[in-house]
Amino acid sequence: MNIDKIKLILADEPAYRMKQVWHSIFVDLIDSWDKCTTLPKVLREKLNAEAPLEIACEVFGSQKSRSLKALITLEDGNKIESVLLSHRDGRKTVCVSSQVGCSMGCTFCATGKMGRERNLTVGEIVVQVLFFARYLKSEGKENNRITNIVFMGMGEPFLNYDNVWKAIRIYNDKDGLNIGARHISISTCGLVEGINKFAKEPMQVNLAISLHAPNDELRSSLMPVNRLNPLDELMFAVKNYIAKSGRQVMFEYMLIDGVTDKEIHAKQLIELMDNKLFVVNLIRYNPTGSHKSSSATAIIRFKNLLLRAGIKVTQRQTFGTDIDAACGQLATKNKKK
């Protein structure tokens, strides 16, 4: 499915046609133009031939957790991955990709090992959510809709800034998917320029920082971005964002056995978390070959140290490790060129 092609075909039609089509795609969630009966037959046939609504995709379901991974084939043959996470409280979150691969090179991340191929277009970002919206509709259950979106899939969203924001406006459109800005989060590995730009955005989208290490030496060894934007610059930018927005910021912290989960790391993290609007989200490392996961005991010990120091802490539920859909595991294994 190519949204740009659809817009091009409808460019010479009266304005109300685009409204009808938009409603059919994003509210009725049609997957074939034959179902868009408000359009004249000739136009339906043209759209079917030149801009079909099918999304080329393979789906993998997790046996162990309530997650589904979609491997989407793009028009140029590249593949990207998106994940649907069904939470126990009823929320349905889609984790979307913003790039094919990623150039940031974090050592613990499968996507980082692929390198960056290219940025995704607005349409390619949007179809990831649309695919799962259609999927949930096909299950035929009541209130079975996407509630949250996180930019935590393949790629660094701030390196594809404009297209990510255009896609967010489409997700947020009240005449379409109507997903509230406060239910959308962008996660960055810590690009200060992007955070500064984000701080000026009027929409109340959430900011998350992939921190993963509490000192410069360790962070630079795991995340090359830290050499460009070390921790003092990063924390300054985040505090500036909070001063402007008054909004909470989530710091993702991955617990890697013997690397980031020692007592000294907890103490350093406590020192960094010196703002009441900071929240730490602890993530158990999902093996991608380079490191080992922390033990359950080490995670509890680490979490308790933070809690005792008065830090707000959440712990991410692990989803989809058996289908390589968990955090840091997304990487297409059979990219076609």
Which positions lie near ligand SF4, rule CB under 6 A?
102, 104-106, 109, 111-112, 154-156, 189, 210, 328
User: DSSP letters of 183-245?
Assistant: GEEEEES--HHHHHHHTT-SS--EEEEE---SSHHHHHHH-THHHHS-HHHHHHHHHHHHHHH
User: DSSP letters of 82-99?
Assistant: EEEEE-TTS-EEEE---E
Residue number, 320 or 328, with CB nearest to ligand SF4: 328
Residue number, 154 or 299, with CB nearest to ligand SF4: 154
Locus of tokens 């617990």: 255
Tokens of 24: 């059919």
Contact between residue 92 and residue 148 where contact means Cβ atoms under 8 Å apart? yes
CB count within 10 Å of CB 108 equals 23
Question: What Cα–Cα distance (Å) separates residue 188 from each residue in 28, 208, 210, 248, 279?
Answer: 33, 6, 6, 15, 15
Residue 295 annotated as lining a ligand binding site: no
Instruction: Compute the distance between CA of residue 331 and CA of residue 312 in angstroms, rounded to an integer.
Output: 31
Rounded (5°) CA angle 48-176-207: 120
CB of 174 to ligand SF4, least distance (A): 31
Residue 271 annotated as lining a ligand binding site: no
Residue 191 annotated as lining a ligand binding site: no
DSSP label at residue 102: -
CB of 153 to ligand SF4, least distance (A): 8
Catalytic residue among 36, 95, 189, 327: 327
Residue 109 annotated as lining a ligand binding site: yes
Report which of 158, 242, 161, 254 is spatially closest to residue 213, judged by C-alpha positions: 254
Contacts of 336 (CB under 8 A, 6+ apart): 73, 77, 78, 79
- Rounded to whole angstroms, the maximal C-alpha distance in the chain is 69
CB of 335 to ligand SF4, least distance (A): 15
**DSSP-derived pairing of the beta strands 206-210 and 116-119:** unpaired
Residue number, 186 or 311, with CB nearest to ligand SF4: 186
Residue 183 annotated as lining a ligand binding site: no
CB of 327 to ligand SF4, least distance (A): 8
Residue number, 25 or 250, with CB nearest to ligand SF4: 250
Residue 155 annotated as lining a ligand binding site: yes
Residue number, 155 or 194, with CB nearest to ligand SF4: 155
Residue 187 annotated as lining a ligand binding site: yes
DSSP label at residue 75: T
Catalytic residue among 36, 81, 117, 252: 81
CB of 75 to ligand SF4, least distance (A): 22
327 labelled catalytic? yes
Contacts of 6 (CB under 8 A, 6+ apart): 21, 25, 47, 51
Residue number, 241 or 285, with CB nearest to ligand SF4: 285
Question: What Cα–Cα distance (Å) separates residue 223 from each residue in 17, 45, 98, 218, 243?
Answer: 48, 50, 19, 8, 26
Residue 105 annotated as lining a ligand binding site: no
Q: Looking at beta carbons, which residue is closest to ligand SF4?
A: 112
CB of 9 to ligand SF4, least distance (A): 34
Residue positions annotated with a catalytic role: 81, 327
Annotated binding-site residues for [4Fe-4S] cluster read: 102, 106, 109
Annotated binding-site residues read: 102, 106, 109, 155-156, 187, 210-212, 286
Annotated binding-site residues for S-adenosyl-L-methionine read: 155-156, 187, 210-212, 286
